[in-house]
Amino acid sequence: MLSNINRSVLLSCLIAALEVEAARLPSRPKSIDVSKSAPQNAGIPLDSFMSFSFELSSWPDFAGNLSNPNVFTSNLMSNLGKLQGSMPIARVGGNTQDIAIFDESQKTGLVGIIRPNVSADYPTIITIGPSFFESYQTMPKGTRFTHGFNMGANSSAARAATWKSAAYACKAIGNNLLYWEYGNEPDLFHASGYRPLEYNEADYVSEWLNGTNAISETVKTACPKLAGTKYMAPSFAGVAANEYFTLDPVKAWRAGIDKADNIEIVAGHNYMGVSTNLGITLQGTLMNHTNVIVKASGQLKVRDDIRASANAPPPNTPYILGEHNSLARQGRPGLSNSFGAALWGVDWNAYIASQNISRSHMHQGTNYRYQSWQPIETDRATKGTKPPYYGNVAVAAFMHRDSPKTELKIAHLPSSSEFSTQYAAYTNNNLARLLLVDLHTYNTTDNNYTTPFPRPVEKYELKLPGCSGCSARVQRLMANGSDAISGITFDGYSYNYELDEGKPVRLNNVTYGEKINGLAKSMSQSFLGIQIDAVYHTSIVFGGIEYYFGQGVQTCRAGQTHHGRPMEIIKLGQTALPMEVILEYLESLKKIYTPESYDLFAHNCNNFSNDFAMFLVGKGIPDHITSLPQTVLNTPFGQMLKPQIDAAMRPIVQAPTPQAGQVQPSGGSTTNGTTAAASSNRNMTEIEMSTGKVNNITALTDLDRLLGLAKDRCAIIFFTSSTCAPCKLVYQPYDELAAEAGAKCVFIKIDFSHAEGSINSRYPNVRATPTFITYLKGEKRDEWSGADPRQLRSNVEMLLNTAFPPHPHLDKSTPLLMRQSQRPIRFTKVPPLDKLVAKMGDSGNDPAVSAIVSYIQVREKSGAIEAPLTELPKFAEFLRKSTTVLPTELLFTALDLLRISLTDARVAGFFAEEHKGATGTPATVHHLLDHVDKLGDSAPYPLRLTTLHLACNLFSSPLFIPHLLSPPVSSTLISILTTALLDEKHPALKASALNLAMNITSSNHQIRMKKYTANTSPSLPSESELPDAEQVELLASLLENISTEEQWSDNKKMGVISVGWLVYGADMNGELRDLWRVMDAAGTMGNVQATAAEDRLLVKEVKSLLEV
C-alpha cells in the first residue's frame, strides 16, 4: 500500500543513510557519493533563478490593476521570493506580444477577441491602452520585469504605436525594469503568417536593430534614467532552422544582432514536446531524466555555438530560458497539470541550473493547462494553485541564498539515472542541500508500461567523507500519485488558494520537521513492519450507503470500502432529516475534512463520524473510539513512532473507493435510514448532461429518471417511429430547440420501434407519430400531434416562458447592484472568553459552557479540523434554559457563545436542523430570538446588539436559510430588525440591523432568481421567499431609514442595496410593488445624494427598478 505515495525528497543538510518506504526495496541501496565542496563543473545560476514568463494577454488577469490588484498572484510570487532569497522576475510577452497593438486613446487596459478557429486559448486580435501598464505596479516589492514589444505587426502604423507604447511602459515600470524584449519567437513568424517564407536572418537582424533603436530613443526621451536598459534576445522557439522554425539563432548572432551592444542576456525558449502530438506520456516525456538531458542538450548546443560564433557576446553573458514549460500549445490535461509535471519541473530546472543555463522563466497563461496557478475564475478553470507551482516551490527552496552576495552552485550527481536523479546545492562552496527526485510514475510497469506493478521506491545511501554521524532535516514534496492534481504539499505546507489565498499554511496531517541521522536505518525495519491494530476506522451507514473520511469525504455501498467488513456495528439511532439537508451538511463538512487535512492521530475518520453522527442523531460515536489515538500517543513508544505510523497508514486510510463499491447518496427523502432517488451531486451532473440536447431513450426507467430531473423545470417528449416519414421534418428543429433551451428544459425522444412495451402502456392514447407531450414542474401540460416545425417552436417557447416567466427587471442593466457581494455578513470576533464566562456567575460553571468554551479556544488557535464537536445537545439545552436562569442584563453572554460557535458550519448545521425541530422550526434558535423580540425596547442594549450579530451569523449555513425566510422565525427576525432600525440612540444597532437586512434580502433574492433561471443545483426542502407581508414590512422600514438618513454613508448604501435586492424580480402584481409605488420609492431613491461616481450609478440602477 505504501507504493501509492509518489514523492521526491529535499534534504536541507547531510545524512548518512535514508531508507524510503516502498512496495519492494532493491537488495542494495543506491550509493551516492557527495563531495563536501562544489565540483569544477557545477553550474552557477543567477539570482531569481525560479522566475516566470506571463502571456501578455493574461498579464492583467495575473497582476490585476491598481484598483483591484491580484492578491493571490502577489502571495504566490512572495512565497518564492522568500524561499529562494530574491523575487521571481516577471517576463511579460509570449505569443500575444506580437499580436497586441497599442491604442493610446483606448480607455480599457486590454481588449481581446478569441477566434476559436485560430486559438481557443488566447485572443488573436488584441489592442492595449495606457492603463494596461498599471498591472506592472501591483506586484510585491522587489519584483523586476521584462516587457515584450510587438515585432510581429508588419505595418508602419503598428510599429509607430509600438514605439509610442515604450514611453508608457517605462514610466509604469520605472526602476523595476530589468530588460526589454523585442519580438517573441521570430523563427515562427512565417508559420504565424507574420512574414513571408523568404524572410531570413539578415532581414530579421536589420528589423530588430531598427526596432530596438526606435524603442531606446523613445525611452531616452520619456524616461532618461532608463535610457541604458538593454535587451534579452533572440527568444527563438527552436534551436536550429528547419521547415517550421525558419530562422537559426546562431546565424542571427553571426548576422550581427548585437551590433549595437544592447543585448545583456541571451534567451532561448524550450518545451519538452507538443501537447497535440502522438506518443506524449507522463513517464516517457516528462518524468524521464533521459529525455530531460536530450532536450537540454539542444539548448546547451545553441548556447555554446553562439559563444563560439562570429560577433559572439562577451564570455560572461548569461544564457537563460526566457520561456519554457512542459508541453507546447498550452499543455495537455492529465499531464501538464499533474503532480508528475511538478516533479518534471523540479528535475528539469535543477538540471539546467547545473548546466549553467542561468535562469528559468516558466510560462503562464490564463486557462493554460501547464500553468502554476489560475489567477481568476473563468468558465474553463477554477481560480487556484496548480500542481506545477509546488515544483516551483521545491526548486526555489533548493536554490535558496541567504543574501545576494551568497555564491550558489548546483551540481548534477553522477548517480542519477532515468527515473531517479540527485543534485547538490553548494553555498559559498560548502554543501548546503541535497535534492533527490524520484521520477517513477504512480504505477510503473515491467512490460513496456502495460503490466502494472506497485511503484518501486529507491533506497539511498549517501556517502559524505568525514560525516558518518551527521544529521539532516528533510523537506518532502508529496502527493498521492504522479497523476494527482490536488492534495500536494511541500514540507507540510499547502499553498492552495482556498486556505489563505496562496499563503503557506502548514497542515498537520503530513510529514514535516523530520530529522534523520544514523539511527534511520536501524529504525526502518520497525517503521515498515509496524501494525496498529487498535486504531479504529469508523464510518456512518444509513440508507445502504457508507460515509467515511479518508481521501476527503467518501461514499460507497455499505461494507464495501477497501477496509473490508466492519469488526463491530453500533446502532446510533434514527434520523428524519430530508436527504437534501443531509447532503448540504455533508458539503459543509467537505470544506473541513479535505484530503490534505487527514491526520491519523489528530483528525481522522473517527472525528468525521463523530461530527456527522452529532448532526444526524444528536449524539457522537462512543468515547472509547475517539479517545484511542490519544491513548496510544500517551505512551513513549507511541510518541516515538507517531510520524512513521502516520506515514505508513495514510496510503491505506486515504485509498480511493473501490470501483465495485462506488455509489452516490440519494437526493430524495430519508426516514429511519432508508433513501430514494438520486444524489445531489449526481443531480447536478445529470441535469447538466441531460439538457441542451435530445435524450434518445428506450426504457421506462430512463424516462422516469429524466422526468424526475425536470420536476423543477419543464420537459417535452417527442414520440416517433422509424417508419414515420413526416417525423423527420421536425428532427432538426427539435435538436435546435433543445440546444437553445439549455438547462431550462429536458428534451426526450422515444422511438416506438425500439421502445419497451411498458412505455406504450404508460401512454396508451399516443396512437400517431409524431406526437408531443409537455410537462411543467412535473405535471402534464399539453399534447399535440403533427410535423409542423412552427407549431413545435411556438409551443416550446410558450412552455419555457411559463416555466421561467420573463420579468421587466431582467431587461434592466444593473451591473453594480449585481456586483455587490452576496456572501453573508458575519460577526466573527471572539471576546475574552474568561471574562464572558465570569459574567455568567454560577451558570458559567455548567459543563456545557466549559465544553463549548474549550471547543472555541481550540478552533480559534488551531482551526476547525483540530476542534472536535462538543456535546451540542447539552449546549442547546443550556441555551434554552438560559432565558430563565440568567438575568436579562446578562443573557447576552449565552447568546454571544452561540454567535461565536455558529461560524463553524458543523455547529450551524446542527442548530439549523436541531432534532426537536428537525421537521419544523429550529427549536433553540427560535426560542432565543422570540424571547428577545418579546422584550422589545426593554431589552438591554448588549442583548439587542448581540442578538442582531447572532442573527447575521445564522446565514453562514445554507441549511438555516429556509427556516430564516419562513414563519415563525422570519416574522421574529423582521420584528427585531425593524425595531433596531428605528432606534436613534444606538447607531451600532441600526448598522447591525442593516447588516441583517443585507443577509435577508440577498438570500431572498437568490431564491427568487431560481424562478427566472435554470438552476442546475437542487433546492433545499421548503425553500421559499419571505412571506409577502414581511417583505412589505421590511421594504417600508428600509425606505423610511433611507429617507431619514441625511448624509451618504455606509449605512445608507447598505439600505439602497437591500432595497435593490428586495425588489428585483418581485411580483409585478403583488403587494410589494403596490407599496413602493404608494410610498414613491423611486422618488425617495432619486433624492439620495451619493458621493462617489460608482455609488451614484448604484443608486440610479435601484431607482430604475422602482420605476417599473
State the burial class of residue 102 (Cβ atoms within 10 Å of its Cβ: 0-12, 13-18, 19+).
buried
Q: What residues contact 631, with CB distance under 8 A and at least 6 apart?
A: none
Look at residues 968, 895, 888, 978 and name the one whose alpha carbon lies nearest to residue 935.
888
Edge-to-edge strands, sheet with 694-697: 694-697, 745-751, 714-720, 771-776, 779-785
Q: How far is CA 399 from CA 83, 87, 292, in A?
A: 8, 12, 19
Taking the C-alpha atoms of residue 1 and residue 123, their distance in angstroms, rounded to an integer, is 46
**CB count, 10 Å around CB of 629?**
24
Name the H helices within 902-958: 905-912, 923-935, 941-954
| Closest of 408, 933, 1015, 462 to residue 688, by C-alpha | 1015
- Measured from the Cβ of residue 1068, the count of other Cβ atoms closer than 10 Å reads 12
- Cis link prior to 968 (omega < 30° from 0)? yes
Which segments of 237-300 are extended strands (E)?
Answer: 263-274
Query: Residue 599's beta-bridge partner residues?
Result: 603
- All 3 cell numbers of residue 1091? 458621493
C-alpha cell at 959: 441549511
- Can you tell me which residue has the cell 508588419? 154
Helix (H) or strand (E) holding 321: strand 319-328
Taking a C-beta distance cutoff of 8 angstroms, is the pair 516, 537 a contact?
Answer: no
Please report, for residues 172, 216, 225, 1101, the alpha-carbon distance to residue 219 in angstroms, rounded to integers and kept in the order given.
12, 5, 9, 45
532515468: which residue's cell? 418
323 given a catalytic annotation = yes
Secondary element (H or E) of residue 361: strand 360-364
Cell numbers 445529470: residue: 686
Nine cell digits for residue 1058: 437591500
| Grid coordinates belonging to 89 | 522576475
- 626 Cβ contact list (under 8 Å, min separation 6): 606, 607, 610, 620, 868
Among 1, 39, 36, which residue's Cα sits nearest to residue 21? 1
Q: How far is CA 714 from CA 668, 780, 1018, in A?
A: 19, 10, 14
Residue 382's Cβ-side half-sphere holds a number of Cα atoms within 13 Å equal to: 9
Give me the amino acid identity at 156: S
Cell of 572: 446510533
Asked whether the beta carbons of 271 and 325 are under 8 A apart, the reply is: yes
846 to each of 415, 878, 901, 943, how far by Cα in Å? 66, 8, 17, 21
Residue 1068 C-alpha cell reads as 409585478
883's CB contacts (< 8 A; 6+ apart) are 891, 927, 928, 931
Give yes or no for a contact between 22 and 456, defined as CB atoms under 8 angstroms apart.
Answer: yes
Which one of the listed residues 19, 185, 201, 514 is annotated catalytic? 201
The answer to whether the CB of 23 falls within 8 A of the CB of 456 is yes
Residue-wise over 992-1023: b if at least 16 C-beta within 10 A, else e? bbbbbbbbbbbbbbebbeeeeebbeebebeeb
| Calpha distance 396→685 (Å, rounded) | 40
Residue 1046: burial class (beta carbons within 10 Å; 0-12, 13-18, 19+): exposed
Reported residue count of the chain is: 1108
Spot the catalytic one: 323, 584, 1025, 1033. Answer: 323
- Would you name the residues annotated as active-site residues? 201, 323
